[in-house]
C-alpha cells in the first residue's frame, strides 16, 4: 500500500511503496508543473562484472552493462522504444554508470502511454546475434572517440592509480577487445539475473496519480520476487594507492591533473548518507570556491576556473578527487594537503563552518528544482537503503569534529595518487 509522507520544511509530498516483487516505487508530487519525469533504474552497472550465482563466481566482459543498456531499446517486430517515445514528443534517454543503469523520459503529454512503454521495454529483452554484432560496431566507435578525450584519460588514470583490483578502475564502456566477447545469450542471461524488480527503483516526479502508477507497475512487471546475485569487487583495497603517479601525453592546451585518495568503503543506510554529507562539507571547507585556499591558489595563478573537486561512493569503494588545468600539478596537490593538515591542527573558525553548512543546505535545496536530480538521488537512496528526503536534516547536525576527522583520516599525502595529462611539447 502506498504511504504518503509530507516533508513540510521541503514543501514536498512523496508517495512510496515496496511492491511484493521487490520494486521500490516513489512518486514525488509536483502539482504546479505541467511536465513529468519517470526514472527506471537498475542496481547494476559497469563495475558489476563479477558475481556469485550460488557458490559459483561468474566473470563477464568489461562493458557488458553498458552494451545491455544500448540493446534494451530494441523491441520485437523491429520496433525501437526510443523511436516510439520520440514520436510522441517525449524526451527519452538512458545511461550506465559504474553502479547503475537507468532509463528515463520527460514529457508534458501522454505520460501513462510513455510509462507503459518504459516499463515494457525495460522488462522485456529482445536481442538477435545480428543486432548485437551491429551494436558492437557502434559502441566500438564510441569507445575510440572517448579515449581521445583528456578528461576521460585523466579520470581513469587516477582510478588506475588508486585501485589495484576494484573494477571501477576500468571504463564503463569496456574496450574494443572486451565487447567482442559479448553475445545475445550473455545479454539475456544478465537481464534475467539483474533486471528483476527486487533490484530496481521506479521514481516518478510530476502531477501524476500514484495509485495509477502502482497499478501499471503491478500489471506490466514480473509478479515474483527474485533474489539477486551477490556482487564481487575483487580483493580488499589497501588505503595506499596502487600507483602514486600516472602520466599520459595527449593534445592539450595546458597540463591537466586529477589527484585523490581512497576513503572509507561504501556504507549503507543513513550512516552512509551522513558520511557522504560529512565528506562534502569537509571538501567544501577545505577547497571550495569560497575557501581561503581556493582564493589563495587562484590569486597566485596556480589554478584557474577549471579547478574542482568531487567525492564518489560506488562499487564497494569511496574516494575523493580534485584537479583541473595547471602548469604545476604537484604544487597544487602539495598545497591542498598542507592546508588540510593546518585545518586539522587549528580547527575551523566557527562562523566560517556555519557558512559552509548553510551553503551546503542551500545547494541541496536547489537540487529539488531538478526533476532528474530528484530521480537520480532517490534511486541511489533506494539502493543504499535510506529515504532521500529524510537526509536533509543531517546537514545542520554535522559537527566540526566529524569534518576534521574526515580530513585527518583521508587527506594524507602518502595515500595520494595523481594522474597527469601533458602535451607533447612539455616532455
CATH number, domain containing residue 170: 3.30.830.10
Strands (E) located in 293-376: 308-314, 317-325
Judgement on whether residues 69 and 210 belong to the same structural domain of the protein? yes
d(CA 421, CA 28): 43
Where b means 16+ CB within 10 Å and e means fewer, 338-354 reads: ebbeebbeeebeeeebe
Q: Which three cell numbers stand for residue 255?
A: 597540463
- Residue 24, beta-bridge partner list: 18, 201
Per-residue pLDDT of the chain (427 residues; tens, 9 = 90+): 899 999 999 999 999 999 999 999 999 999 999 999 999 999 999 999 999 999 999 999 999 999 999 999 999 887 899 999 999 999 999 999 999 999 999 999 999 999 999 999 999 999 999 999 999 999 999 999 999 999 999 999 999 999 999 999 999 999 999 999 999 999 999 999 999 999 999 999 999 999 999 999 999 999 999 999 999 999 889 999 999 999 999 999 899 999 999 998 767 899 999 999 999 999 999 999 999 999 999 999 999 999 999 999 999 999 999 999 999 999 999 999 999 999 999 999 999 999 999 999 999 999 999 999 999 999 999 999 999 999 999 999 999 999 999 999 999 999 999 999 999 765 5
Judgement on whether residues 288 and 404 belong to the same structural domain of the protein? yes
Residue 240 lies in a domain: no
Q: What angle do CA 119, 122, 128 make, to 5 degrees?
A: 140
- Report yes or no: 136 and 180 within 8 Å, Cβ to Cβ: yes
d(CA 259, CA 287): 13
Judgement on whether residues 400 and 331 belong to the same structural domain of the protein? yes
Pairing of strands 317-325, 230-232: unpaired
Strands (E) located in 200-339: 200-206, 230-232, 245-249, 256-262, 308-314, 317-325
Judgement on whether residues 252 and 388 belong to the same structural domain of the protein? yes
CB atoms closer than 10 angstroms to residue 193: 19
pLDDT confidence of residue 426: 57
pLDDT confidence of residue 342: 97
Q: What is residue 195's three-state secondary structure?
A: coil
Residue 368 lies in a domain: yes
Residue 177, judged by CB atoms within 10 A of its CB (0-12, 13-18, 19+), counts as exposed
Judgement on whether residues 180 and 278 belong to the same structural domain of the protein? no
Residue 134 lies in a domain: yes
Residue 68, judged by CB atoms within 10 A of its CB (0-12, 13-18, 19+), counts as buried
Catalytic annotation, pick one of 3, 12, 50, 69: 69
Residue 251 lies in a domain: yes
Q: Residue 225: what are its φ and ψ, rounded to 5°?
A: -85, 125
d(CA 51, CA 60): 9
- Report the candidate in 90, 99, 45, 37 with the shortest Cα–Cα distance to residue 69: 45
Q: Which of 210, 232, 254 is the last residue of a domain?
A: 232
Residue 169 lies in a domain: yes
Residue 25 lies in a domain: yes
Q: Residue 256: what are its φ and ψ, rounded to 5°?
A: -120, 135
Q: Which residues form the domain of 291? A: 245-426
Rg (CA), the chain: 23
Judgement on whether residues 289 and 150 belong to the same structural domain of the protein? no
- Report yes or no: 134 and 110 within 8 Å, Cβ to Cβ: no
Judgement on whether residues 150 and 205 belong to the same structural domain of the protein? yes
Judgement on whether residues 185 and 207 belong to the same structural domain of the protein? yes
Q: Is the pTM of this model over 0.85?
A: yes
Q: Which of 232, 262, 279 is the last residue of a domain?
A: 232
pLDDT confidence of residue 268: 82
Where b means 16+ CB within 10 Å and e means fewer, 126-145 reads: bbeeeebeebbeebbeebee
Q: What is the DSSP string of 33-92?
A: -S-EEEEEEES--TT--EEEETTEEEE--TTHHHHHHHHTTEETTTEEHHHHHHHTT-EE
pLDDT confidence of residue 126: 95
pLDDT confidence of residue 322: 98
Residue 146 lies in a domain: yes
Q: How many CA atoms lie within 13 A of 114 on its CB side?
A: 28
Judgement on whether residues 341 and 285 belong to the same structural domain of the protein? yes
Residue 194 lies in a domain: yes
- The count of structural domains within the chain is 2
Judgement on whether residues 65 and 114 belong to the same structural domain of the protein? yes
Backbone dihedral region of 402: left (phi > 0), alpha (psi from -120 to 50 degrees) or beta?
alpha
Residues in Cβ contact with 272 at an 8 Å cutoff, skipping those fewer than 6 apart: 266, 313, 384, 386
Judgement on whether residues 104 and 24 belong to the same structural domain of the protein? yes
Q: Which of 176, 202, 232 is the last residue of a domain?
A: 232
Judgement on whether residues 82 and 215 belong to the same structural domain of the protein? yes
Q: To which H or E segment does residue 356 belong?
A: helix 350-366
d(CA 105, CA 337): 43
pLDDT confidence of residue 265: 72
Residues in Cβ contact with 16 at an 8 Å cutoff, skipping those fewer than 6 apart: 2, 3, 5, 24, 25, 26, 27
Q: Is 69 a catalytic residue?
A: yes
Q: Residue 105: what are its φ and ψ, rounded to 5°?
A: -145, 160
pLDDT confidence of residue 69: 98
d(CA 422, CA 214): 53
Amino acid at each position: 500500500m502506498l504511504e504518503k509522507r509530507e516533508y513540510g520544511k521541503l514543501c514536498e509530498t512523496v508517495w512510496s511503496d515496496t511492491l511484493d516483487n521487490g520494486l521500490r516505487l516513489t512518486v514525488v508530487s509536483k502539482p504546479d508543473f505541467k511536465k513529468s519525469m519517470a526514472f527506471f533504474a537498475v542496481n547494476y552497472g559497469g563495475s558489476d562484472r563479477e558475481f556469485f550465482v550460488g557458490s559459483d563466481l561468474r566473470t563477464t566482459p568489461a562493458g557488458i552493462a553498458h552494451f545491455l543498456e544500448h540493446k534494451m531499446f530494441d523491441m520485437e517486430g523491429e520496433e525501437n522504444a526510443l523511436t516510439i517515445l520520440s514520436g510522441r514528443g517525449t524526451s527519452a534517454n538512458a545511461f550506465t554508470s559504474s553502479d547503475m543503469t537507468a532509463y528515463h523520459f520527460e514529457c508534458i503529454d501522454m505520460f501513462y502511454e510513455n510509462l507503459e512503454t518504459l516499463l515494457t521495454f525495460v522488462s522485456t529483452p529482445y536481442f538477435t546475434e545480428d543486432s548485437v554484432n551491429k551494436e558492437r560496431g557502434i559502441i566500438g566507435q564510441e569507445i575510440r572517440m572517448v579515449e581521445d578525450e583528456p578528461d576521460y584519460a585523466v579520470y581513469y588514470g587516477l582510478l588506475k592509480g588508486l585501485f589495484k583490483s576494484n573494477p571501477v578502475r576500468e571504463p564503463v564502456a569496456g574496450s574494443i577487445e572486451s565487447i567482442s566477447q559479448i553475445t545475445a545469450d550473455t545479454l539475456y542471461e544478465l537481464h534475467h539475473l539483474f533486471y528483476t524488480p527486487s533490484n530496481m527503483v521506479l521514481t516518478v516526479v510530476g502531477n501524476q496519480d500514484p495509485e495509477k502508477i502502482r497499478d501499471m507497475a503491478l500489471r506490466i512487471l514480473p509478479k515474483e520476487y527474485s533474489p539477486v546475485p551477490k556482487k564481487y569487487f575483487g580483493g580488499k583495497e589497501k588505503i595506499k594507492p596502487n600507483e602514486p603517479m600516472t602520466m599520459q601525453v595527449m593534445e592539450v592546451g595546458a597540463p591537466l591533473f586529477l589527484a585523490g585518495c581512497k576513503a572509507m568503503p561504501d556504507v549503507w543506510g543513513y550512516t552512509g548518507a551522513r558520511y557522504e554529507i560529512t565528506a562534502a562539507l569537509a571538501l567544501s571547507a577545505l577547497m571550495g570556491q569560497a575557501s581561503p585556499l581556493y582564493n589563495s591558489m587562484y590569486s597566485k595563478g596556480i589554478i584557474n576556473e577549471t579547478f574542482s573537486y568531487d567525492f564518489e561512493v560506488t562499487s564497494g569503494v569511496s574516494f575523493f578527487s580534485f584537479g583541473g588545468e595547471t602548469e604545476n600539478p604537484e604544487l597544487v596537490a602539495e598545497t591542498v594537503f598542507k592546508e588540510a593538515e593546518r585545518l586539522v591542527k587549528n580547527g575551523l573558525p566557527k562562523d566560517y563552518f556555519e557558512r559552509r553548512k548553510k551553503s551546503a543546505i542551500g545547494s541541496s535545496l536547489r537540487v529539488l528544482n531538478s526533476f532528474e536530480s530528484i530521480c537520480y538521488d532517490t534511486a541511489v537512496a533506494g539502493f543504499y537503503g535510506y529515504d532521500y528526503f529524510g537526509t536533509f536534516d543531517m546537514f545542520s547536525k554535522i559537527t566540526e569534529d566529524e569534518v576534521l576527522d574526515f580530513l585527518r583520516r583521508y587527506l594524507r599525502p602518502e595515500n595520494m595518487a595523481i594522474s597527469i595529462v601533458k602535451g607533447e611539447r612539455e616532455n
